[in-house]
Amino acid sequence: MENEKAFVRHFFQAGVPQPEKLDIIAQHFHEKLIDKHDHLLSEGKISQEYLLLESGFMRAYSLDTEGDEVTTAFYGAGQPVFDVASFFMHTPAKESIQALAPCSGWVISFDDLNKLFHSIPEFREVGRGILVKGYASLKLRMQSMITETAETRYAMLLHSNPEIFRQAPLKHIASYLGITDSSLSRIRRDISRQHK
């Protein structure tokens, strides 16, 4: 009966093998559709939803002191999407999360998520794993930002995450890489010249 939530069940299957527990987990998720350009979360609001993205593409961004957008993350299908600080600390979000393509996924509230964390140990292990992996990849990105040139960072992102380049305009990718869109354009020109 809960089989429309096959995606949710599949997402947790490796960490929570017991079907009965998967049932309980799946019951607490609700379908969510987001139109292209619409927001899952807006800066200043308190995040209420933890989203598992089944299809589509999203980005998180915030505004710098000059008011320019800085893209801080991209999310593809299969990934959990939420603002860690706002969702877990109930503080106003410092960033917004927006659909770059029509999105569908499954959301759970903070209270429901916490109930599951308390009642299903395996589930909270999965939750911790998600946090820890996000932390680790952010650290890698910081390391790369410090030690590599923009050209190298661009090449690495293109290689490791080509989907981003199919879904996001270059200006978003540029600010994600920590450079301006002009510089990214020049980097692309230089690389294409090298390949001749």
Partner DNA sequence: TCTACTTCTTGCCAAATGGCAAGTGTATTG
Partner DNA sequence: CAATACACTTGCCATTTGGCAAGAAGTAGA
The minimum distance between CB 75 and DNA, in angstroms, equals 18
Does residue 62 interact with a second copy by CB under 8 A? yes
Q: Are 37 and 98 in contact (CB under 8 A)?
A: yes
Q: Which of 43, 101, 32 is nearest to 72 (CA)?
A: 43
Helix/strand/coil for 42: coil
- Selected from 128, 162, 169, 189, the binder of a second copy by CB under 8 A is 128
Residue written as tokens 């010249």? 193
Distance CA 130, CA 162 (A): 22
Taking CB under 7 A as the binding criterion, the range among 4-12, 49-57, 144-152, 155-163 that sits at the site for DNA is 144-152
Distance CA 10, CA 36 (A): 25
- Selected from 78, 121, 162, 178, the binder of DNA by CB under 7 A is 178
Give contact residues for DNA (rule: CB under 7 A): 149-151, 169-171, 178-189
Give contact residues for a second copy (rule: CB under 8 A): 62, 64-66, 68, 70, 72, 84-85, 88-89, 118, 121, 124, 128-129, 131-136, 138-139, 141-143, 145-148, 175, 178
